Structure formats: structure tokens, C-alpha cells
Amino acid sequence: MPGTLYVVATPIGNLEDVTLRALRILREVSLIAAEDTRRTARLLQHYSISTRSTSLHEHNERSRTPSLIARLAAGDSVALVSDAGTPIVSDPGAHLVAAAHAAGIRVEPIPGPSAVIAALSASGIGHGEFLFVGFGPARSNARLAWLKGFSEEIRPIVMYEAPHRITATLEAILATLGDRVIAVARELTKTHEQLVVGQVSKFIASPMVERGEFTVVISGNQPTSGITAAPDAAVAAAEFGRLTNVDGLSRRAALKTLALRFDMPARAVFDLLEQAKHAKPDQPDAPK
């Protein structure tokens, strides 16, 4: 009877974030296929797990896959792990998983930590659907073109970025998507964790330390409603409340967004909000 290929999520920083089920699987399998056996060894040593491991990274995945499939077919179970978080999400392993399915071998996910979900859940940006895009292109022109392709995306966008490119990427976001509200998370769950929310220009004016892995959450584009005439004050107030309370924009950013959407001066939008506030005291306050 064939073994099972377990896709095991491991901590993204704090070793206490591993699940009890993941620890059990790592102890029970015959072999652990790790992106970096040295990094995985820290987790195994911390929990006194003696299971043998072998490397499986982007440079050797195709050559190692046949032997791993052979072991699975012979009845051994294998755990696939990446350096941190959930395997295959911007990490190697997809070729092995696809080969296992093709060979009729059971593939079982062992869910757990994910930098994408951790950053999104704590960002306060949007709710429901989101778009994960992984790492962007390394070259500046390609990165600009890549980001421009998301200009009409209304869902929050989550991406990874390397420390030496974070500043250039934030500048590219400003140039292509505008001064949107974003969340920048650095070293999630680790000792020097940071998660800061604000407009892109804020991060460019006061850069974060360029060290560690970054996860960036970008607020989606707010679609225009086709309104050209001045909207009803109640409509403006309702939209203002949604932008600030649901989408996480600052009051000033929400005012600017409505001015663009309604194609009217920001002062005129402000007056509408004031009008709605005096008509219905429970409406959100206008920006000050």
C-alpha cells in the first residue's frame, strides 16, 4: 500500500506556532523533504524529533522527485516542508505534489502558519476576498509593469518582498497604484516583528529597517460608481463610513478617494459630510 505525502506547514518565526498534528506527522513519517535541511533541523531539534531529512529545493526538485515517488509507492510516508510557513506558497514542492497525484499517491495537507494570512488578518485592510501575488519581478521596469497590471484590482493585494528591494517596490507602488493605504509586515512572529499601516508615502518618507522578510498588503482600487453630479449627502456619508471603517483608510485618504470618485473638489465632499452629520448625528464625523 502506498504511503502518504504530507504537505506540512511549519512556523514562520516563533517555534511555538507549530501545530500538535504537524509535530506528530514529522515524528511518524519515514522521511522529511525539506527546502533547507539546516533550517528544518532547528525545529526538529527543538522538539526532539529524530526523523531523517533530505533536501528538496528549487534546484534539485525535479531530479529528487522520482526517488521520493518511488519511496512513497513502496509504502513510506514523506513530509514536505519549506523553510517557513506553508509549502509551495512561493516555495518549492509543486512538482513533487503533482507527481504524487499523477502516481495515485495520497497527498494530505497539514495546515498551519502562513505569512500571507497573518499579515492580512492584522492589517485591517478589506475583508473577504484578496489576491496573493507572491514575489514581484526583480528588475525595476518589469516590476513597474507588473504592478500596473493590478491598478484596477478592487481586492486587497498581498505580496512578498526581499529586504533589499522593499524601498524600490514601495516607490513603484506609489508610481503605479497611487498613494494607497498599505500594511507592511516585517519579521512576523519573530523578536523584531513590525506591522505598520499607513499610506505608501509614509513608508517612503520614513523607511523601515531593510532586514528580514517583508509581507505587504495593498488596499484595492475603489471602483467609480459613474456618479458625475453631486451625490446625496447620505450616500457620501455612507461611502465615507465604509472607506474608513471597513477598508481602513484614514479620514483624509477617504475624503480624497470620494473627491476622485464623485469628480468634485474635496471641500465640496467635506461640506456634504458636514451636512449629513448635522442631519443624522450617528453618521461618521467628517475629517478634521
pLDDT, tens digit (0-9, with 9 covering 90-100), for 209-256: 999 999 999 999 976 544 445 577 887 888 888 878 876 778 888 888
pLDDT, tens digit (0-9, with 9 covering 90-100), for 71-102: 999 999 999 999 999 999 989 999 999 999 99
3-state secondary structure the chain: CCCEEEEECECCCCHHHCCHHHHHHHHHCCEEEECCHHHHHHHHHHCCCCCCEEECCCCCHHHHHHHHHHHHHCCCCEEEECCCECCCCCCCCHHHHHHHHHCCCEEEEECCCCHHHHHHHHHCCCCCCCEEEEECCCCHHHHHHHHHCCCCCCCCEEEEECHHHHHHHHHHHHHHHCCCEEEEEECCCCCCCEEEEEEHHHHHHCCCCCCCCEEEEECCCCCCCCCCCCCCHHHHHHHHHHHHHCCCCCHHHHHHHHHHHHCCCHHHHHHHHHHHHHHCCCCCCCCC
Per-residue confidence in pLDDT tens, the chain, 288 aa? 999 999 999 999 999 999 999 999 999 999 999 999 999 999 999 999 999 999 999 999 999 999 999 999 999 999 999 999 999 998 999 999 999 999 999 999 999 999 999 999 999 998 789 999 999 999 999 999 999 999 999 999 999 999 999 999 999 999 999 999 999 999 999 999 999 999 999 898 888 899 999 999 999 997 654 444 557 788 788 888 887 887 677 888 888 878 777 777 888 888 888 888 877 555 455 555
pTM higher than 0.85, yes or no?
Answer: no
